[in-house]
Amino acid sequence: LTIAKFADNVEFYLRDLLASAIGIQDIGNVYFVDGGSTGPADDTGNGTARATPKKLIQSAIDLTTTGNNDVIIVLNYGSAGRALEAWPIELNKNMVHIVGVGNAAHAWAAVCPGSGTAQHAFEVTGDRCTLSNLCIAGGDGKAGIHVTSPNAPWGLLVRQCIFGVDNASATTQEGILIDSGGDAPYLTVLDCYFAGTVVGAGLTGDAIKVAGNATRGRIGKPGQGNFFSGLASGKKCVNISGSAVAIAIEGNRLHLGEDATGAGITLSAGASRIWVDGNHANYGDADATNNPYSDGAAGDANDWGLNYKGITALMPA
Give yes or no for a contact between 110 and 121, defined as CB atoms under 8 angstroms apart. no
Quote the CA–CA distance of 24 and 130 in Å, as a whole number. Answer: 10
State yes or no: pLDDT of 122 exceeds 60: yes
Q: Which residues pair with 19 in a beta bridge?
A: none
State yes or no: pLDDT of 168 exceeds 70: no
Please give the share of the chain, as a percent, with pLDDT higher than 90: 83
pLDDT tens digits, one per residue of 103-119? 878 888 999 998 889 99
φ, ψ dihedrals at 136, nearest 5°: -120, 135
pLDDT tens digits, one per residue of 180-227? 999 999 999 999 999 999 887 789 999 999 999 999 999 999 999 999
Mapping DSSP to helix (H, G, I), strand (E, B) and coil, where does residue 228 land?
strand
- Amino acid identity of residue 212, one-letter, is G
Quote the CA–CA distance of 298 and 301 in Å, as a whole number. Answer: 6
pLDDT tens digits, one per residue of 2-52? 555 444 555 666 677 777 777 777 899 999 999 999 999 999 999 999 999
Quote the CA–CA distance of 241 and 296 in Å, as a whole number. Answer: 10
Whole-number average pLDDT of the chain: 93
**Cross-sheet strand order for the sheet of 70-77:** 30-35, 70-77, 96-100, 130-132, 157-159, 188-190, 218-219, 248-250, 275-277, 303-304
Quote the CA–CA distance of 138 and 144 in Å, as a whole number. Answer: 4
State yes or no: pLDDT of 145 exceeds 90: yes
Quote the CA–CA distance of 24 and 63 in Å, as a whole number. Answer: 20
Exposure pattern of 270-286 as b/e (b: 16+ CB <10 Å)? Answer: ebbbbebebbbbbbeee
Give yes or no for a contact between 138 and 173, defined as CB atoms under 8 angstroms apart. yes
Quote the CA–CA distance of 203 and 298 in Å, as a whole number. Answer: 31
State yes or no: pLDDT of 235 exceeds 80: yes
